[in-house]
């Protein structure tokens, strides 16, 4: 059942990028149905004893090094809050994983402003939110219209490994990926080795080709 209260929904954003935070702040101020509690740059900055949001909108980048797994802990920590992932990560690869980890919605930063507002409104009312494109993709998958081979290949990968593959598809070197994910270069190298093994790829160049094809859905 949807809440009956007409009071503004309290929104907390967790995002590392100052420009995004500034843009979101000016945006939310235009919508009286929301009350912006503030911003945090990382999960450790937020404690339930100090703040009580209705919605936590988070970029997975701010949840590194644990990434998607952090959503489960965040949901446990803020049991009365809905979680909306707002990120640049590809929704077709990461949205379902985020929902399984405890999020109520997923919105890409490249989406129109109206979609972000709709996402905030939906999750604040206890509804799930996915873009129309993502809903259609799931329906196609359920009806068997999507090729299962490509999906089964990337589902062999852990959340962290899939994120590394996305970074590889963007031509990022190990050092850049390690900095982005807040883990060591050695850890990235170990993950790349396991990814190649899981996908039965024989060389780094084959891994790069797979990453690009996955990003472009070219299977």
CA separation for the pair 39, 19 (Å, rounded)? 12
Nearest one of 56, 57, 55 to 124, comparing CA atoms: 55
CA separation for the pair 155, 93 (Å, rounded)? 9
CATH code at 148-215: 1.10.10.10
pLDDT 10s digits, 158-207: 999 999 998 998 889 999 999 988 899 999 999 999 999 998 898 989 99
CATH code at 9-137: 3.40.50.2300
Domain ranges of the chain: 9-137, 148-215
Please give the sequence-ordered ranges of beta strands (E in DSSP) within 7-125, or none if there are none: 9-14, 34-40, 55-58, 82-87, 105-108
pLDDT 10s digits, 120-146: 999 999 999 999 999 998 888 777 655
Q: What is the pTM of this model?
A: 0.81
SS3 (DSSP) at 180: helix
- Identical topology for domains 9-137 and 148-215: no
DSSP letter at 103? -
């Amino acid at each position: 059942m949807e809440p009956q209260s007409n009071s503004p929904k309290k929104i907390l954003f967790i995002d590392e990028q100052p420009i995004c935070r500034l843009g979101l702040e000016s945006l939310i101020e235009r919508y009286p149905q929301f009350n912006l509690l503030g911003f945090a740059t990382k999960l450790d900055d937020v404690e339930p004893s100090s703040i009580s949001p209705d919605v936590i909108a988070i970029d997975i980048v701010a949840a590194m090094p644990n990434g998607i797994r952090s959503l489960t802990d965040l949901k446990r920590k803020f049991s009365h809050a809905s979680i909306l992932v707002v990120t640049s990560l590809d929704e077709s690869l990461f949205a379902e994983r985020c929902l399984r980890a405890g999020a109520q919605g997923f919105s890409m930063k490249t989406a129109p402003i109206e979609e972000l507002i709709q996402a905030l409104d939906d999750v604040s009312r206890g509804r799930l939110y996915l873009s129309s494109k993502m809903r259609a993709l799931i329906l196609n998958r359920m009806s068997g219209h999507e090729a299962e081979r490509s999906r089964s290949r990337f589902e062999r990968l852990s959340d962290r490994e899939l994120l590394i593959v996305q970074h590889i598809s963007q031509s990022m070197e190990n050092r850049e990926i390690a900095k982005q994910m807040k883990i060591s270069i050695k850890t990235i190298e170990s993950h790349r080795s396991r990814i190649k093994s899981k996908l039965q790829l024989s060389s780094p160049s084959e891994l790069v080709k797979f990453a690009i094809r996955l990003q472009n859905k070219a299977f």
